């Protein structure tokens, strides 16, 4: 089986010293980020021999629920960037009152470097991953991507998503302003790049996640809770409650809304009990009695349920945090000074400082 063709050969990074001569050593350091968070939360210098590209491009969490993505979005390319243009509500009201009725509030673009969140939206935000420099270099594709099927499929799908996001020059200017494209990429260069990507595009050659465009985060969370059993966390908590107080407030606000309807029903029943015809209706009397008892107990049960659920989340997060702390300190090779005597192989930070000072030559 032959080598798959490159998705493009257009060079758009000429201002960074590209293209290279055939005799020049291929050094892609300038295309990589300054640092990288590896698995285990270690901050390291990006290395192409590690799992750096896998973390940068693969979308395994979405592939694991591929057969449920139809619930979260449609199998169509994403909308262009100009339709995501976010306008604050006050500015919108001012324009509307002045007669500008064509303004449409859409979603605020939020930058993410996580490919699993690219094109995922929640409420008034949509998360977009900027195009990495290395994906715009055909030499990098030839050296590190084209022979790795999974990486190549994800990279092809990612670039294809940007041909849908950046269609017109207005989209291009928005992409530059939001930091989604490198500043050295010109509109003419992007047109040539997009032309090649689209001419070489085939849905069978891209990752299945990119058969879909925008995905709703709330439904992804629901899918992960049902399909994967991640009841507390879901797919991602990036748009979740930051503090427990907000979580309690929002849940009790929903409970108060339901109780408002209960009050209306109780008021109607009270009026009905004053009507002579209903006073003699035994079924209505029983229903009124049962609903009255329900309206007394239900809010107490629901309120207790909310508090218990929050308590369960707190305990779960506390356990996970403490386990992670122990594991992390073990990997760092240190033992907090406020703990017991350090275990074998671990060094107390204060002891390390003392040893280092004792090794220094005297003055």
pLDDT number for residue 288 = 86
CA distances from 342 to 132, 245, 334, 345, 352 (A): 43, 37, 8, 8, 12
Q: What is the DSSP string of 128-162?
A: EPPPPGGGG-HHHIIIIITT-HHHHHHHHHHHHHH
pLDDT in the model for residue 22: 46
**How much is the pTM?**
0.76
Q: pLDDT value at position 84?
A: 74
Residues of the chain with pLDDT under 50: 22-23, 99-103, 105, 354-355, 358-359, 362-363
Selection from 12, 3, 2 nearest residue 159 by Cα: 12
pLDDT for 325 equals 85
Token pair 């673009």 is at which residue? 109
Nearest Cα residue to 186 out of 176, 195, 197, 198: 176
CA atoms within 13 A on the CB side of 61: 18
Tokens of 171: 């989209």
* Main-chain dihedrals φ then ψ at residue 329, nearest 5 degrees: -65, -35
Estimate the crossing angle of helix 187-199 against helix 169-178, to 10 degrees. 110
């Amino acid at each position: 089986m032959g080598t798959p063709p490159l998705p493009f050969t257009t060079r758009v990074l000429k201002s960074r010293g590209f293209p290279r001569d055939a005799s020049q050593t291929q050094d892609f350091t300038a295309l990589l980020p300054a640092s990288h968070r590896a698995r285990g939360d270690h901050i390291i210098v990006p290395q192409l021999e590690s799992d750096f590209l896998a973390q940068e491009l693969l979308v395994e969490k979405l592939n694991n629920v591929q057969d449920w993505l139809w619930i979260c979005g449609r199998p169509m390319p994403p909308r262009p960037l100009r339709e995501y243009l976010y306008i604050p509500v006050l500015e919108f009201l001012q324009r509307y009152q002045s007669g500008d009725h064509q303004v449409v509030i859409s979603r605020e673009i939020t930058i993410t470097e996580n490919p699993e969140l690219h094109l995922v939206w929640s409420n008034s935000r949509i998360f977009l991953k900027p195009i990495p420099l290395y994906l715009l270099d055909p030499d990098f594709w030839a050296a590190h991507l084209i022979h790795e099927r999974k990486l190549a499929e994800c990279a092809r799908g990612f670039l294809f998503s940007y041909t849908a996001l950046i269609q017109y020059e207005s989209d291009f200017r928005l992409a530059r302003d939001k930091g989604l494209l490198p500043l050295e990429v010109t509109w003419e260069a992007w047109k040539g790049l997009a032309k090649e990507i689209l001419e070489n595009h085939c849905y069978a050659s891209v990752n299945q996640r990119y058969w879909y465009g925008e995905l709703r985060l709330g439904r992804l969370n629901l899918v992960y809770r049902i399909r994967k059993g991640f009841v507390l966390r879901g797919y991602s908590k990036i748009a979740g409650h930051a503090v427990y107080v907000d979580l309690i407030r929002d849940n009790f606000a929903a409970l108060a809304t339901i109780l408002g309807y209960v009050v209306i029903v109780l008021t109607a029943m009270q009026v009905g009990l004053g009507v002579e015809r209903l006073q003699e209706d035994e079924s209505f009397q029983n229903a009124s009695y049962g609903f009255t008892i329900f309206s007394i107990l239900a809010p107490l049960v629901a309120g207790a349920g909310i508090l218990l659920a929050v308590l369960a989340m707190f305990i779960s997060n506390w356990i996970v945090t403490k386990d992670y702390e122990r594991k992390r300190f073990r990997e760092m090779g240190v033992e907090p000074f406020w703990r017991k005597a350090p275990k074998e192989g671990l060094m107390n930070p204060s002891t390390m400082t003392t040893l280092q000072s004792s090794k220094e030559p005297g003055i």
